[in-house]
Amino acid sequence: MASRDDIMIEITPQVLLKAYSCGIFPMAESAYDPALYWIEPQHRGILPLDHVHVSRRLRRTIRNADVEVRVDTEFDGVIEGCAASRPGRRSTWINSRIRQLYRELFDLGHCHTVEVWDGTRLIGGLYGVALGGAFFGESMFSVERDVSKIALVHLCGRLIAGGFVLLDTQFVTEHLRQFGTVEVDREEFQSRLEEALKVSTDFHRLPYGASSDEILAQIGKRVR
């Protein structure tokens, strides 16, 4: 059995991508624990891209919000926001090793961010890993109401436009359930993942400055 230090040393960006292709992802016990642990849940959260639910209120919010949504311009700011303590949560699982690994994946083009800006201020966003036709959502944050929802809807629209077929949320929360997130068992997830890895995609198929209407139109095309 490998020690915690051995586990930490063994994980490289290439090993991390291989783990994702097998349905496994790393986490730390806390932001201050230097070790990483492989996680393979018995039940997995996924957001079916052909069943994304966006409420009328949220559609209005997305269309009317005086914000700018950017992609892949501020990785460090996004992961810092995701790792920050918030009311009801003192720390997160994002430690220094996580930051380093995902920064390397970002530099390799496998990790992406969706960012919500109020002028020059980053007020929310998310990041995750793209591999074949699968996108593995890692974490999101917001410092103002509905901002993480805006980021998630923009992510879904971009994934649909880019040909992605699987959005892994790892776990199911009430926040994610309102968008249509469901839980599947490990065997079904592995089957979906195997098919998704065969798909060629383009995260940047939508133009950089895609409008909210364009994003919502993409979701409308796929929703059954």
CATH number at residue 69: 3.40.630.70
How high is the pLDDT of residue 32?
Answer: 80
Residue 123 lies in a domain: yes
Count: domains in the chain: 1
* Residue 89, domain member (yes or no): yes
Quote the crossing angle between the two packed helices 56-64 and 212-222, to the nearest 10°. 150
pLDDT in tens, 209-220: 899 999 999 998
* Nearest alpha-carbon partner for 161 in 221, 114, 116, 73: 221
Residue 117 in this model has a pLDDT that exceeds 60: yes
Cβ atoms within 10 Å of 182's Cβ, excluding its own: 14
Number of neighbours of residue 117 by Cβ within 10 angstroms: 18
For residues 65-72, average pLDDT: 96
pLDDT at 100 over 90: yes
- Whether 8 maps to a domain, the answer reads no
Mean pLDDT score, 112-121: 97
Establish if 73 belongs to a structural domain. Answer: yes
Based on its alpha-carbon atoms, the radius of gyration of the chain, rounded to whole angstroms, reads 17
First-to-last C-alpha distance (Å) of the chain: 47
Confidence band (pLDDT; 50, 70, 90) for 11?
A: confident
Examine residue 190 and state whether it is found in any structural domain, yes or no: yes
Range of the domain at 165: 42-222
The answer as to whether 22 is a domain residue is no
**Which pLDDT does position 70 carry in this prediction?**
97
Decide if 24 is inside a domain.
no
Structural domain includes residue 19? no
Mean pLDDT of the chain: 91
In angstroms, rounded to a whole number, what is the distance separating the alpha carbons of residues 219 and 107?
28
